Structure 1
Amino acid sequence: MQGAVHIIGAGLAGLAAAVRLSGSGRAITVHEGTAHPGGRCRSYHDHATGLFIDNGNHLLLSGNHAAHAYAKAIGTEHRLGGPDKAEFAFHDLETRKSWTLRISDGRIPWWIFDPAKRVPDTHWRDYLGLAKILVASDRALGEVIACKGPLYDRLIEPLMVAALNTSPPESSALLARNIVRETLALGGEACRPRIARDGLGTVFVEPAVAFLRDRGATVRMDHELRGLVLDGDRVTALDFGDGRIDLGPDDAVIMAVPAWAATALVPGLTGPTAFRSILNTHFRAVAPAGTPTVTGVLGGTAEWIFVFPDRVSVTTSNADRFMKEPREALAATVWTEVCAVTGLTGDLPAWQIVRERRATFAATPEQNARRPGTKTAWRNLALAGDWTDTGLPSTIEGAIRSGNAAAALI
């Protein structure tokens, strides 16, 4: 096909598809239903704190090859920073213990044999049980490993909650398997943290829009698709309410909107129906010198603390239990925990809470089984989105891979 391509949605999946197709010689139009590109991965100026913040914190790893390739393609890979080693600081609020997990390079996990590098109060034999994850089928993770003990509490649970945004015992062991295979199993080279120091939007969103426009693509905001016109095995027109776009015989469509929007637009489409929330709390504060860029927190509301030059941002995953809590009380609780971990002091500074109520699909075996592939029943319609069957949970890496797959299909 060499016709035009219409991409519905300017989240990362849609932008990735457009970037991948930008050198194909085809006319590319991205239609975004809101006023802002980026979907759940965007940055904006927040009036409450006076800061430029991310809608949600995202921890990338050096092994997220699709995300790095995308950033390299649009010229922003240098804006992802992080340590040269795969080191992760942790703090337990209940015991007041702090430690650093140091994952050695290479596929042989030498780090598990060194008490100074592995999780405290664990023995190297404890890690052998993780091999069960590497060969797991799609059943509940709690049926594959014992969800208890120091190794689970201090490494597996925080890692899996962050990656899957779902309680680990009920999570998909298949998705957990794929995460472990692409990170811990490959060694430190694949596990180095990568942070967008100046905001996710400066790496993945605004530069992508500029890149596309520079190459002749059209990116339209506030242009929400209302319906598809279908005839036989083709999409023949796009209905935007205020106008209709008829498609030529070689034109194609990539549907890159959230699951609930896609299932409403595409007849008979099955997608995830259960979702999990994420709580992000931002403070206008400067952490003491030497504070780790990322710290995992156990035993509190805060789960991951991200330190930036002008702010401290905190993520709590699988956060449905906090969606109705009073905002100021939540901010005060998280601030107390931030102070305990970082050494910051003082009254509650300027803050902002962002509650993403449908941040990810629930990463259970049942919901994972509902994820559709890229191909649809219509030969000129492809699907993209982190909720499609990427083999990964809802992540930046999964979203970009899905966009690449859709671009390859059409």
Structure 2
Amino acid sequence: MPDRNSVAQQRVVVVGGGWAGLSAAVELSHRGVPVTLLESAKQLGGRARCVQFGESRVDNGQHIMIGAYSATLDLLKRLKLDQNQLVERQSLLLKLLSPTESPLEMRAANLPAPLHLLGALLTAKGVSIGDKLKTVLFMARLNSRHFTLKKEQSVRDWLAAQPRRVVHGLWEPLCIATLNTPPENASARLFIRVLKEAFSGQRSNSDLLLPRTDLGTTIPEPAAHYIERHNGQVQLSRRVNELIIGQGRILGVAIDEQMIPASHVILATPHTATAQLLQAHEGLNETANQLVQIPTEPICTIYLRYPEQTRLELPMIGLLDSVGQWVIDRRNCGQPGLLSVVISANGPHMDLSNCELADHVTAELKHHYPELPEPLESLVIREKRATFASNVGINAYRPANRTTVEGLWLAGDYTDTGLPATLEGAIRSGLQCAQDIAAEWPQQN
């Protein structure tokens, strides 16, 4: 059995090159902790990676960030990346179109938080005065309770007494977009946490951060360069198939017949893959059993390429009572004429072929924008297990970062971050693992 105190073994191995793993490896490198990142795929980024669409690179799923993504923004600073070149920051402006009702439009007021939200609700278009006042009182009560909820329940049940127009036209679309879970199943506590992150604290927390480039350029590539410049290692096409554990401690990982020794291992893999690695070890069965009970939800992204002069009146538009839920104009990404339509969570659309789905959302856009020409080409990307389902009671199955095996850690948006499945949650999880390891590192040497 390898000597845990050997020089070769005094290293952290991060398994998984998604945003959780990259965040952990960057932080460890910054703190001078030797780290090796192992990624099974040929590229970094995990679920947030790039694919080719004609002559363009696009994300495998359209991601929108908000100003409350503090860990993400801090990571950009750590990598010395110019935020203004990577994202366009805009004050919150939501416009949602319905085929049967007038549009609902809400713009953040030029006031400090949370008054900016109350101002946005009071001046919202497409909502009656009575509904506005009820919603303002509802949010004021939530703020006075510090965005907490005593009893866990679904988002739909939590909103049952609220005005139908606001629930259907605002809260439910935001729930599906942020939790990737239908309101009848979604955890109200997790949704309230999202509202707290976005609408309390600084006014800028609710800003929309619209990508100017693909996510593969935003963080994964610069992160890999940072790790390697700080004496870390990044290895692609390296699939870990076994954890090496002895006497309650992690000793390393195995790739086929090769053992890679380590004093700490961070598993930053999807929760399904993590469960498979844990199941082989009796002391980790309970955690593995928790993970296999975490359900998943899909996300579909349909890219529609139009002539370059095609544009929307806003960078992002919501679609109500439609298969498509949000449409994003990728002109900000330097891709004029390219629209991406996002469909979160499961539904009948998953039974449509790619051609049928592209035709369906094209017709929906044509209803709202009759002047749109036919798209020149389309690309449908289905991530069938895009995120964990933020169902009622899901937090009971989300593990802590530290496991019962000394030196073995779990990172990923599925861990107990308090957030739903977001890139920010993944980064915070990896960062927490790295900070805890670094705090213990002097005692290891």
Structure 1 window deviating more from structure 2 (110-119 vs 7-16): it is: 110-119
Aligned to 1:298: 320
Aligned to 1:57: 62
Question: Which digits, 9 at most, give the CA deviation of each residue in 1:293-338, with x for residues without a partner?
Answer: 1111111111111111221111110134322311101001111223
Aligned to 1:252: 264
More helix by share: 2
Say if 1:344 and 1:384 are closer, same or farther in 2 by CA, change over 3 A: farther
Paired residues of 2:20 and 2:428 also in contact (CA < 8 A): yes
Question: Which digits, 9 at most, give the CA deviation of each residue in 1:192-230, with x for residues without a partner?
Answer: 110112111111211111222222211111101101111
**Residues of 2 paired with 1:312 and 1:352: CA distance?**
11
Which of 133, 139, 142 aligns to 2:153? It is 139
Aligned to 1:109: 115
**Residues of 2 paired with 1:208 and 1:343: CA distance?**
43
Say if 1:296 and 1:308 are closer, same or farther in 2 by CA, change over 3 A: same
Number of equivalent positions: 404
Paired residues of 2:252 and 2:265 also in contact (CA < 8 A): no
Say if 1:110 and 1:226 are closer, same or farther in 2 by CA, change over 3 A: closer
How far did residue 157 of structure 1 move?
Answer: 0.5
**Residues of 2 paired with 1:119 and 1:265: CA distance?**
51
How far did residue 118 of structure 1 move?
Answer: 5.7
Aligned to 2:45: 38
Aligned to 2:173: 158
Paired residues of 1:279 and 1:319 also in contact (CA < 8 A): no
Structure 1 window deviating more from structure 2 (394-403 vs 191-200): it is: 191-200
**Residues of 1 paired with 2:195 and 2:177: CA distance?**
13
**Residues of 2 paired with 1:129 and 1:230: CA distance?**
52
**Residues of 2 paired with 1:308 and 1:110: CA distance?**
27
Q: Give the unaligned 5+ runs of structure 1.
A: none
How far did residue 52 of structure 1 move?
Answer: 1.2
Say if 1:280 and 1:344 are closer, same or farther in 2 by CA, change over 3 A: farther
Say if 1:83 and 1:20 are closer, same or farther in 2 by CA, change over 3 A: closer
Aligned to 2:99: 93
Structure 1 window deviating more from structure 2 (284-293 vs 191-200): it is: 284-293
Report the TM-score when normalising by structure 2: 0.85
* Rg larger for: 2
Which of 254, 266, 279 aligns to 2:300? It is 279
How far did residue 23 of structure 1 move?
Answer: 1.8
Specify the SS of the correspondent of 1:394: coil
- One-letter amino acid of the structure 1 residue matched with residue 325 of structure 2: E
Question: Which digits, 9 at most, give the CA deviation of each residue in 1:338-394, with x for residues without a partner?
Answer: 334455522232110000000111101233210001010112111100011100000
The Cα RMSD (Å) is: 2.2
Q: How does 1:5-404 map to 2 (within 5 A)?
A: 5-46=12-53, 49-76=54-81, 77-95=83-101, 97-104=102-109, 105-109=111-115, 112=118, 115-117=122-124, 120-121=127-128, 122-130=131-139, 131-132=141-142, 134-137=147-150, 138-146=152-160, 149-186=164-201, 188-247=203-262, 251-266=263-278, 267-268=284-285, 269=287, 270-271=290-291, 272-285=293-306, 286=308, 288-289=310-311, 291-309=313-331, 310=335, 311-342=338-369, 344-404=371-431
**Residues of 1 paired with 2:91 and 2:30: CA distance?**
35
Say if 1:324 and 1:287 are closer, same or farther in 2 by CA, change over 3 A: farther
